[in-house]
Structure 1
């Protein structure tokens, strides 16, 4: 096997991007605090550009490094230290090289061919890092010129519950007696009014007006609190942070009120209790049994649709009698008693959701 087919095989393997993302996030705590989707987007483009440059066997062009420059600029705007960014880039670079060597040797490619490719790879990776640094430094200077550092510092103080000088508030058009929505987003958003920036690498903000779905990107997730006084902003922001993983797990996009995510967020804060509940109520189910997973999915759909057989059947694209049969079989397998009352419904719903997440 020659080097070209090996590179094409790597380009077509989505698992490689997963490994590079994991390596970058494991190496840098600041990068790991960013949304995983944000990491994945940049790494996928950098990886594909690198493979394309290798396969052309020509010097990389400026276009090959455009995403590297953009990566540096984005991380500067998000407040990620340059040293942390470079650590993540180098970790991904090292993992990509390790994968290429292992696959190359397994494919029977001679060591001298791999060595030549390694030298080319190192030259490309060095140029990539220089473009990352250049993008970071350029963005850093621009951010300083428009007062971004002061804006971000004020936002961090307010969302950490620290007092802010009235002159600083007035400078950025915040009113001490005003009420503001706290928000946290999966990626940076362009919103007019209020105060926006990066807090611990996470796009965050305070705004007098709740953003609309049309104002954020189609792939962007925003969790927003009700309008609160500035003195309560830190507590509201903490609730938004707690709710964000729940919204991400559910595959949400657009703008979501933290209150609408309350139940899932509260339950997610008790993983040990959830595991105990699942083991107690559903101990008879086996996670390697496809029929058992089908029973659990049917029961969850039944509860999600207000315990209506017809609506659950429609959602699952089966006959209502099929839903009835599966519910009866679930009771037989687990000994689960009939669900009665709101608290009982929540208990069983939580157990089913936890069991299915494990499966």
Structure 2
């Protein structure tokens, strides 16, 4: 009688390890954990990481888990793209390495925590972590090599020098020395418009860079954001889906403060702003004065939101509709018709929502200028971060 074939089954500990890798690969929150670790390691990075950064981290994690569970050469296409992209955005190599190390370390920490919780033996976890770390070392090498290759290309067209001079002038010398600003037409007695953009995609940055610099000055990525000092602003303004913030012309001695103001305005009216308030295109910082000034006081914004809107429940979707309708109402001069048109609602729907909000919070039918500021700020900041 023929013998049945021998089936080699994984040992229970191997089953547990495979299950752990599959769990990590399917965990959508893992990407957020790693992105936060990367951002914390790079203090010059924007407070809210760009979708491009999140996409890159997700792709790198997916490639790593795939390499862990199959034989053959790992895939490093996304790693190379990420490294070249950081060079194009003017991110210093030290910051790039800090971010990669932080992300790698966070993955190892999470894997250890999950492995212990799953009861995987220490020796099995050690072998798995060594494999994971070897992949991390190879990934880091690919990122850095692509970064350096891109930097060599930048040096050939003097873009690297433009990045260096802007880091020196806009970051108050924190970026290290750089070439003589006069080489790029920037002189101590001159006055220049400072600008910053929240563009994140390298191709979008290249396009904006040429458009903003066509009337002179220096425009280049600085620490992951497009920045510049130009004697004249382009007219007409370039069409773009990004937000570009500009200041009136200032002397080079005031450039660091002007740039810091641009960054605050970007956070207030760009990526960190509520969806209905985000701006695109070119805007003078004076036109964003309200949002910029209020963004500088996040704690006061939270206190005000809690005080005036304590009757609203952050977990109630209808209450979110009430708050967004009231915010639109204030943004449109407390006009029912304009608010209804902007929200694509019937005026009676707007009127009903405002009445319900008045019942829940005590919002008055008519507001003074200062009362309008307080309610607008509270609505724009609701729900306060403390409730999350």
TM range (shorter): 0.7 to 0.9
- Which residue of 333, 347, 354 maps to 2:360? 333
Tell me if 1:172 matches 2:184: yes
CA distance change for structure 1 residues 356 and 18 in 2, over 3 Å: closer, same or farther? same
Give 1:59's match in structure 2, choosing from 60, 73, 87: 73
- 1:135 aligned to which of 146, 159, 171: 146
Residue correspondence of structure 1 range 292-331 to structure 2 within 5 A: 292-313=319-340, 319-331=346-358
Distance in 2 between residues matched to 1:170 and 1:51, nearest whole Å = 50
Gaps of 5+ in 2: 1-14, 174-178
What per-residue deviation string (whole Å, max 9, x for no partner) do you get for residues 207-247 of structure 1?
Answer: 34438554x5x5x4432335556565444323211201111
**Is the 8 Å Cα contact of residues 48 and 271 (structure 2) preserved in structure 1?**
no
What is the match of residue 210 of structure 1?
Answer: 234
State yes or no: 1:240 paired with 2:253: no
Q: Could you say which residue in structure 1 is the equivalent of 2:25?
A: 11
Q: Are the aligned partners of 1:34 and 1:202 in contact in 2 as well (CA < 8 Å)?
A: no
The structure richer in helix per residue is 1
Deviations 1:53-110 (A, max 9, x none): 23332222xxx22332343344345554434322321221122233344445656766
Contact 2:329 2:339 in 1 (8 A): yes
Q: Is the 8 A contact 1:78 1:198 kept in 2?
A: yes
How many correspondences in the alignment? 348
User: Greater shift after overlay, 283-292 or 35-44?
Assistant: 283-292
2-structure distance, mates of 1:291, 1:148:
51
Distance 1:94 1:204, change over 3 A: same
Q: Which runs of 5+ in 1 are unaligned?
A: none
Normalised to the residue count of structure 1, the TM-score between the two structures is: 0.79
Deviation at 1:34, TM superposition (A): 7.3
For residues 100-137 of structure 1, what are the alpha-carbon distances to aligned partners after superposition, in whole Å with 9 as ceiling and x for unaligned?
44445656766665444333222211111112232333
Aligned to 1:151: 162
Q: Call closer, same or farther: CA 1:317–1:9 in 2, change over 3 Å.
A: farther
Q: Aligned with 2:364: secondary structure?
A: coil
CA change 1:6–1:232 in 2 (3 A) is same
TM-align CA RMSD = 3.6
Q: Deviations over 1:169-194 (max 9, x none)?
A: 55324577766442213335222333
TM-score where L is the length of structure 2: 0.74
Shift of 1:350: 1.2
Does the CA-based 8 Å contact 2:302-2:378 persist in structure 1?
yes
